[in-house]
Structure 1
Amino acid sequence: MVRHRKDMTLVQLVPRVLQMVLNLSLVFLAIILSTLLVQELIIFGKMLFEAKSLDHQLFLANILLFFLYFEFITMIVKYFKEDYHFPLRYFLYIGITAMIRLIIVDHDHPLNTLFYSLVILILIIGYFIMNLTPRERPESRWFFNK
């Protein structure tokens, strides 16, 4: 006997449609970010081969911008590989890289640089705590094994 799938109710259809819209949007965003990543590589080439005097701060800021694009693309790939879930550690990587870039680009005010450094320290401490914390709690294993 062949079972026929029942017609989907609105409650079942809405999340699927929204998930599909989200997935298509993320694919489109990944294409845009990939284009920007290639543009950054072209800018690197121009800076290295055309400039007689290289502005090291600008070059380093562009490298960090390149890594921001790279990390966002990696996060989108991980989203699809991990069953529609963004790993928290990638947000921390992006935050740390963005703050380092901000320090390099905007280091004129010492107090702001100190605040940016404190933000980086907080993000690193959060990453350290996240890695120390087991994914499965011992209490949950004990509870379900009864």
Structure 2
Amino acid sequence: MKLLTNPKPFKELIPKVLQVILNIGLTVLALALCVMLIVEMVEFLKFIINSGKQEYKYFLAKILVFFLYFEFITMIVKYFKEDYHFPLRYFMYIGITAMLRLIIVEHDSALDTLIFAGVILILIIGYYIINITPRERPVKKY
């Protein structure tokens, strides 16, 4: 009867259950990304074997997709190493890499390239601001 009147065990149980579900989901995602990373490496080998049959733009796009997979896997590893926390800087790394991919692959329009470069500049400024601010924030006690 006491379990029904005291909601504290439920408040502690729900976050733990959701954390386990999140960890399982991220582990499955990491495994899927590893498989896709291997597929990209096979594509590299195919490109090298048939080097004269495909464009260099395709190869550059594949390299950057490879790095995006690599960064997502690294971010998931950091999540588990840093006690279930995603560092914001990794999202910025991924954003910068994605924008670089767009500039390399889609550089037909000068205005679009300039906008993509502006986005990269904003991400770099944000990254700089994150690095100069203190990491530990004081905890407010109520």
Q: TM-score, normalised by structure 1?
A: 0.85
Q: Which residue of 2 aligns with 1:93?
A: 93
Q: Which residue of 1 aligns with 2:52?
A: 52
Code of the residue aligned with 1:20 in structure 2: it is: V
Q: Which residue of 2 aligns with 1:41?
A: 41
Shift in Å at residue 53 of structure 1?
4.3
Q: Which residue of 2 aligns with 1:3?
A: none
Q: Which residue of 1 aligns with 2:83?
A: 83
Moved over 3 A (4+): none
Gaps of 5+ in 1: 1-7, 141-146
Q: Which residue of 1 aligns with 2:4?
A: none
User: What is the root-mean-square deviation of aligned Cα atoms in Å?
Assistant: 1.9
Q: Deviations over 1:45-89 (max 9, x none)?
A: 000112324411111111110000000000000000000000011
Gaps of 5+ in 2: 1-7
Whole-angstrom distance in 1 between the partners of 2:44 and 2:126: 33
Alignment length, in residue pairs? 133
Q: TM-score, normalised by structure 2?
A: 0.87
Whole-angstrom distance in 1 between the partners of 2:115 and 2:12: 46
Contact 1:75–1:86, Cα closer than 8 Å, also in 2: yes
Code of the residue aligned with 2:57 in structure 1: it is: Q
Segment drifting more, 66-75 vs 127-136: 127-136
Q: Which residue of 2 aligns with 1:25?
A: 25
